[in-house]
Protein backbone atom coordinates (compact mmCIF):
# COMPACT_ATOMS: atom_id res chain seq x y z
CA UNK A 1 0.00 0.00 0.00
CA UNK A 2 1.30 3.41 -0.87
CA UNK A 3 1.65 6.22 1.60
CA UNK A 4 -1.01 8.19 -0.21
CA UNK A 5 -3.63 5.49 0.23
CA UNK A 6 -2.68 5.02 3.92
CA UNK A 7 -3.12 8.78 4.50
CA UNK A 8 -6.44 8.65 2.67
CA UNK A 9 -7.68 5.74 4.83
CA UNK A 10 -6.57 7.49 8.05
CA UNK A 11 -8.22 10.74 6.90
CA UNK A 12 -11.50 8.99 6.01
CA UNK A 13 -11.46 7.04 9.30
CA UNK A 14 -10.93 10.27 11.22
CA UNK A 15 -13.79 11.99 9.39
CA UNK A 16 -16.06 8.96 9.98
CA UNK A 17 -15.17 8.77 13.68
CA UNK A 18 -15.78 12.50 14.10
CA UNK A 19 -19.16 12.17 12.39
CA UNK A 20 -20.14 9.27 14.65
CA UNK A 21 -19.11 11.18 17.79
CA UNK A 22 -21.02 14.31 16.75
CA UNK A 23 -24.11 12.22 15.96
CA UNK A 24 -23.92 10.45 19.34
CA UNK A 25 -23.58 13.78 21.19
CA UNK A 26 -26.59 15.14 19.29
CA UNK A 27 -28.80 12.15 20.17
CA UNK A 28 -27.73 12.05 23.82
CA UNK A 29 -28.51 15.77 24.14
CA UNK A 30 -31.87 15.19 22.44
CA UNK A 31 -32.67 12.32 24.87
CA UNK A 32 -31.87 14.51 27.90
CA UNK A 33 -34.03 17.32 26.51
CA UNK A 34 -36.96 14.95 26.01
CA UNK A 35 -36.48 13.47 29.48
CA UNK A 36 -36.40 16.96 30.99
CA UNK A 37 -39.56 17.99 29.14
CA UNK A 38 -41.33 14.80 30.26
CA UNK A 39 -40.36 15.48 33.89
CA UNK A 40 -41.63 19.06 33.67
CA UNK A 41 -44.92 17.98 32.04
CA UNK A 42 -45.52 15.31 34.68
CA UNK A 43 -44.76 17.78 37.44
CA UNK A 44 -47.16 20.40 36.06
CA UNK A 45 -49.91 17.78 35.72
CA UNK A 46 -49.35 16.53 39.28
CA UNK A 47 -49.30 20.05 40.74
CA UNK A 48 -52.41 21.03 38.79
CA UNK A 49 -54.15 18.00 40.26
CA UNK A 50 -53.05 19.09 43.76
CA UNK A 51 -54.47 22.58 43.17
CA UNK A 52 -57.77 21.11 41.93
CA UNK A 53 -58.00 18.81 44.96
CA UNK A 54 -57.33 21.71 47.34
CA UNK A 55 -60.01 23.78 45.62
CA UNK A 56 -62.45 20.86 45.89
CA UNK A 57 -61.66 20.38 49.59
CA UNK A 58 -62.13 24.10 50.29
CA UNK A 59 -65.20 24.28 48.04
CA UNK A 60 -63.47 27.05 46.10
CA UNK A 61 -65.17 27.59 42.75
CA UNK A 62 -62.79 30.31 41.54
CA UNK A 63 -61.10 29.53 38.28
CA UNK A 64 -57.39 30.29 38.04
CA UNK A 65 -56.16 30.73 34.46
CA UNK A 66 -52.82 29.05 35.04
CA UNK A 67 -52.85 27.18 38.35
CA UNK A 68 -49.23 26.05 37.91
CA UNK A 69 -46.43 28.08 36.36
CA UNK A 70 -42.89 26.87 35.79
CA UNK A 71 -40.63 29.76 36.77
CA UNK A 72 -37.29 28.07 36.02
CA UNK A 73 -35.98 24.56 35.67
CA UNK A 74 -37.22 22.51 38.65
CA UNK A 75 -39.03 25.53 40.16
CA UNK A 76 -42.82 25.61 39.95
CA UNK A 77 -45.42 27.94 41.46
CA UNK A 78 -48.93 26.69 42.20
CA UNK A 79 -51.59 29.36 42.78
CA UNK A 80 -54.19 28.60 45.44
CA UNK A 81 -56.68 31.23 46.61
CA UNK A 82 -57.14 29.85 50.10
CA UNK A 83 -55.23 28.98 53.25
CA UNK A 84 -54.30 25.38 53.83
CA UNK A 85 -52.60 23.22 56.38
CA UNK A 86 -48.96 22.43 55.51
CA UNK A 87 -49.27 18.72 56.29
CA UNK A 88 -52.33 18.40 54.06
CA UNK A 89 -50.35 20.01 51.27
CA UNK A 90 -47.40 17.71 51.88
CA UNK A 91 -49.54 14.58 51.81
CA UNK A 92 -51.31 15.71 48.62
CA UNK A 93 -47.97 16.50 46.99
CA UNK A 94 -46.50 13.12 47.93
CA UNK A 95 -49.59 11.28 46.71
CA UNK A 96 -49.81 13.05 43.35
CA UNK A 97 -46.07 12.94 42.66
CA UNK A 98 -45.98 9.21 43.40
CA UNK A 99 -49.01 8.66 41.16
CA UNK A 100 -47.15 10.52 38.40
CA UNK A 101 -44.10 8.28 38.95
CA UNK A 102 -42.00 11.20 40.13
CA UNK A 103 -39.82 9.77 42.88
CA UNK A 104 -37.66 12.84 43.46
CA UNK A 105 -36.95 14.65 46.69
CA UNK A 106 -38.60 18.06 46.72
CA UNK A 107 -39.03 21.26 48.69
CA UNK A 108 -42.18 23.30 49.06
CA UNK A 109 -43.15 26.54 50.72
CA UNK A 110 -46.44 28.21 51.49
CA UNK A 111 -46.27 31.88 50.60
CA UNK A 112 -48.78 34.44 51.85
CA UNK A 113 -49.27 37.14 49.21
CA UNK A 114 -51.03 39.52 51.60
CA UNK A 115 -48.20 39.52 54.15
CA UNK A 116 -45.51 39.06 51.50
CA UNK A 117 -43.87 36.32 53.54
CA UNK A 118 -43.23 32.61 53.65
CA UNK A 119 -45.60 30.98 56.12
CA UNK A 120 -44.18 27.46 56.02
CA UNK A 121 -41.51 25.50 54.18
CA UNK A 122 -40.21 21.98 54.22
CA UNK A 123 -37.95 19.52 52.43
CA UNK A 124 -39.37 16.10 51.68
CA UNK A 125 -37.07 13.13 51.23
CA UNK A 126 -39.22 10.76 49.20
CA UNK A 127 -36.84 7.83 49.52
CA UNK A 128 -36.75 7.87 53.32
CA UNK A 129 -40.55 8.33 53.50
CA UNK A 130 -41.04 5.36 51.18
CA UNK A 131 -38.59 3.24 53.21
CA UNK A 132 -40.41 4.23 56.40
CA UNK A 133 -43.79 3.22 54.96
CA UNK A 134 -42.36 -0.13 53.77
CA UNK A 135 -40.95 -0.83 57.25
CA UNK A 136 -44.32 0.11 58.81
CA UNK A 137 -46.16 -2.15 56.35
CA UNK A 138 -43.84 -5.09 57.09
CA UNK A 139 -44.14 -4.51 60.82
CA UNK A 140 -47.94 -4.37 60.74
CA UNK A 141 -48.14 -7.55 58.62
CA UNK A 142 -45.95 -9.40 61.14
CA UNK A 143 -48.26 -8.42 64.00
CA UNK A 144 -51.34 -9.95 62.37
Digit-coded pLDDT (tens) for 57-96: 888 777 777 888 888 888 898 888 877 888 888 888 888 8
Of the chain, the percentage scoring pLDDT greater than 70 comes to: 86
Q: Are 78 and 71 in contact (CB under 8 A)?
A: no
In the chain, where are the structural domains located? Answer: 3-143
- C-alpha torsion sign, points 129, 134, 139, 144: positive
- Provide the pLDDT confidence category of residue 137 given band limits of 50, 70 and 90: low
**Interatomic CA distance for residues 144 and 137, integer angstroms:** 11
- Provide the pLDDT confidence category of residue 132 given band limits of 50, 70 and 90: very low
Q: What is the pLDDT of residues 38-59, one digit of tens each?
A: 988 999 999 999 888 888 888 8
How distant is the alpha carbon of residue 131 from its chain centre? 20
Amino acid sequence: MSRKSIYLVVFLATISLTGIIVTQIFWVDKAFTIQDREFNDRTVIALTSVVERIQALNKDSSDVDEPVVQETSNYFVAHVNDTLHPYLLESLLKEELQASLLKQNFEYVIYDCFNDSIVFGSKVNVRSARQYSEVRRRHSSQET
